[in-house]
Structure 1
Amino acid sequence: MRRRLVCALALTTSLLTAVGAPSASAGSAVAASCAPGQVCFWTEPGFAGAPAATFELSGANVEQCVSLPNGVDALSFANRMDRYVTMYQSRECATEGDFSTYPGEGVFVPDVPFTVRAFQIWEKP
């Protein structure tokens, strides 16, 4: 019985280590392509390629609906601002479609549960 428990713990530890390593390197790569103070959007899940659109507070007013450029429908994003950001399925930030609010300072979402077409930045909590 004790031997089975030790084997199970060893297997669990090795699986967790193997699963954790790729996400750490993926997060580092995303952080390198999305600067602090930016919100970055990718058109493919998993942060594939370079960001298709990036925004900073200097170009997007707080509490204003900001539509992504035409042709950019985001399937992954990173929020490296120190503010909460709400992502919308609608280009007009309508609440009839899907929307979710994410905290700031390093939120990386590799597979958004809906296509993001607009966002709003909020005042610091």
Structure 2
Amino acid sequence: MNRMRRRIVCALALTTSLLTAMGAPSASAGATAVAACAPGQVCFWATPGFADAPVVSFELTNASVEQCVSLPDGVDARSFANRMDRYVTMYQSRECATEGDFGTYPGDGVFVPDVPFTVRAFQIWEKS
């Protein structure tokens, strides 16, 4: 019986260690995203998981409310952070067309490490 108990304890310890190790990069990536994207900004990364620095960021001084804002030519985003206090809709289309994928995300600290589609444009909404 002691052997069986020892095997179970070892298996649980190994599983816990593996889960902890797997969770660490995600926490680090989230901390990196928070540090790289200032409050009041929407920031975009070219790769999932907030790898490297954001490729582009916007705030209300360079993005009009309720207007389609295309990411610069050649920039496609796979992760983003919305640190504005407004809702932002992300679009697959550079023209904010609803024929492609799109999704609206609340503000005040939404971090999406792996967008389900490639983001090429966005729209900021008025506060309600």
TM range (shorter): 0.7 to 0.9
- Distance in 1 (alpha carbons) for counterparts of 2:120 and 2:111: 17
1:102 is matched with: 105
2:60 is matched with: 57
Give the alignment's Cα RMSD to 1 decimal: 2.1
CA separation of 1:15/1:124 partners in 2, compared to 1, >3 Å: closer, same or farther? farther
1:8 Cα deviation after fit = 9.0
1:90 is matched with: 93
Runs of 5+ consecutive residues of structure 2 not aligned to the other structure: none
Structure ID, larger Rg: 2
Q: Which moved more, 1:19-28 or 1:77-86?
A: 19-28
Amino-acid identity (%):
83
Among 107, 122, 125, which residue is 2:125 paired with? 122
Aligned length in residues: 125
- Distance in 1 (alpha carbons) for counterparts of 2:120 and 2:59: 16
Matching of residues 11-30 of structure 1 within 5 Å? 17-30=20-33
Helix, strand or coil for the counterpart of 1:24?
A: helix
1:123 Cα deviation after fit = 1.2
- Distance in 2 (alpha carbons) for counterparts of 1:82 and 1:13: 37
- Per-residue CA deviations over 1:11-45 (Å, capped at 9, x if unaligned) read 77666654544322221111111111110111111
Runs of 5+ consecutive residues of structure 1 not aligned to the other structure: none
TM-score by structure 2 length?
Answer: 0.83
